[in-house]
Amino acid sequence: MAKKILLVDDSASVRTVAGIALRGAGYEVVEAANGQEGLGRLNGDKINLIISDVNMPVMDGITFLKEVKRHPNYRFTPVIMLTTEAGEDKKQEGRAAGAKAWIVKPFQPQTMLDAVSKLILA
């Protein structure tokens, strides 16, 4: 069965672009447009990895990440932050909140896929 990835980004184009690469590599992708929607997708189904933007309306990526790490079923799910945010302070904030990797857009699809295959849970 295909491994499932939750992809959270307010940009439909980024969700589409990342989705093409992930689905092409054989992953099942569930999409959400912000952190609040992302939390709504954590409904008990097995999620093998989360990819999240940082700057989003309604609920930003760092807040979402902290909520995921508080969730009893998903606290160990690896999270990759995928963002235009290149500032070191923000990156360290993500690290402190429990992110496993930080990818700055624009990204090479293969770079993202390599990070996913390295971190995704069995």
Partner 1 sequence: MQRIIQRFFQSAQSTGAPGAEAADAAAAPNHHAHALQIWAAQIDTSRQQMEDAVVALSSRFAAIVDQLDSALRMGLSGDGEGVSNDAQRAEVDLLEVVNSLKAIQHSRQTLSQNVRSIVAYIGELRQMADEVGVIAFKTNLLALNAAIEAAHAGESGRGFAVVAHEVRALSDASRQTGRLITEKVGSISATLERIAATNESIAAEDDQAIATAETRIREVLTRFRSRTEAMANAVNQANRQSGEIKEEVAHSLVQLQFQDRVSQILSHVATSMRALGAADAAAGAANTDELARRSLETMAASYTTDEQRRIHDGLDAKAVEPQQVTFF
Coil, strand or helix: which one is 27?
coil
Instruction: Pick the binder of partner 1 from 4, 11, 31, 67 (CB under 8 A).
Output: 11
How many angstroms separate the CA atoms of 99 and 91, rounded?
9
Residue 54 sits in the site that holds partner 1 (CB under 8 A): yes
Residue 111 sits in the site that holds partner 1 (CB under 8 A): yes
How many angstroms separate the CA atoms of 75 and 41, rounded?
14
Residue 41 sits in the site that holds partner 1 (CB under 8 A): no
Tell me, letter by letter, the H, E, C secondary structure of 83-120: ECCCCHHHHHHHHHHCCCEEEECCCCHHHHHHHHHHHC
Instruction: Pick the binder of partner 1 from 101, 117, 120, 121 (CB under 8 A).
Output: 101
Q: Least distance (Å) from partner 1 to the CB of residue 5?
A: 16
Closer Cβ to partner 1, 17 or 67, answer by number: 17
Residue 121 sits in the site that holds partner 1 (CB under 8 A): no
